[in-house]
Amino acid sequence: MSKIVIASGNKGKINDFKSIFKQFEVVGIQSILEDFDPVEDGETFKDNALIKALEGAKRTNLPVISDDSGLSVEALEGAPGVRSARFAGDDATDQENNKKLLQLMKGEENRSAYFTSVIAVAFPDGTAYTYEGVVFGEILEAPVGTNGFGYDPLFQTLDGKKFGELSTDEKSEISHRKRAIDKLLEDENLFNRLQS
């Protein structure tokens, strides 16, 4: 069975990919490289996804999948963007990031925002594929719901679904990551390479 490495220590994310790539042995990168911690200094989600996937593939000599995602707010010129996890500081909690976002959005009429997920699949020879998924919506005036993580309590889709109120299964059906994964699953060239 061919092996695929996920460039993440997040067990939930690893399990998500295990359910997609059932015909492969899927492992987290920390089970191979305990010190894997590339500097994500790209200017876009695609840049950062590729940084992780390419470095992982080079060091493990195996196909590596990574993803990078975050929230972009129109009124903040795309912020927090690639700094979504570190918006209120390098070690910021979700609550601190949400608090900063609400402070910056106080009184703002344009609340348009979108979540982006870019999944990268890299091979040891340096080639890579990327897939992007986006969900459009708006920033709420205050947190709603107790589900999800990150900015979920502040995000509502264009058709009124509040991420903070959705179950994991409900969110996974409409999320930005799901949309990126759907594009990946449609790529026959990728699966042919993984199986060769």
State residue 95's pLDDT score: 95
Task: Return d(Cα 98, Cα 66) in angstroms, integer.
Answer: 25
Order across the sheet with 155-157: list the strands.
25-28, 3-6, 64-73, 112-122, 128-139, 155-157
Q: What sign does the dihedral 179-104-96-40 (CA atoms) show? A: positive
Residue 12 labelled as part of a binding site: yes
pTM of the full structure: 0.89
Residue 10 labelled as part of a binding site: yes
Mean pLDDT, to the nearest integer, of 90-114? Answer: 96
Q: Which residue did the predictor score with more confidence, 102 or 9? A: 102
Q: Is the pLDDT of residue 196 over 80?
A: no
State residue 138's pLDDT score: 98
Domain ranges in the chain? 3-195
Q: State which fold the 3-195 domain adopts.
A: Maf protein (3.90.950)
Task: Return d(Cα 30, Cα 4) in angstroms, integer.
Answer: 13
**Alpha carbon of residue 93 to chain centroid:** 17
Is residue 140 within 8 Å of residue 154, measured between CB atoms?
A: yes
Nearest residue to 30 via CA among 2, 56, 69, 49: 56
Structure tokens at 148: 């999800």
Q: Say whether 182 is catalytic.
A: no
Q: Is the pLDDT of residue 128 over 80?
A: yes
State residue 136's pLDDT score: 98
Q: Please write the tens of the pLDDT for every residue from 8-67.
A: 887 777 877 887 788 889 999 999 999 998 988 999 999 999 999 999 999 999 999 999
Residue 150 labelled as part of a binding site: yes
Q: Please write the tens of the pLDDT for every residue from 138-194.
A: 999 999 999 888 999 999 999 999 999 998 888 888 999 889 989 998 999 888 888
Among 35, 47, 67, 68, the active-site one is 68
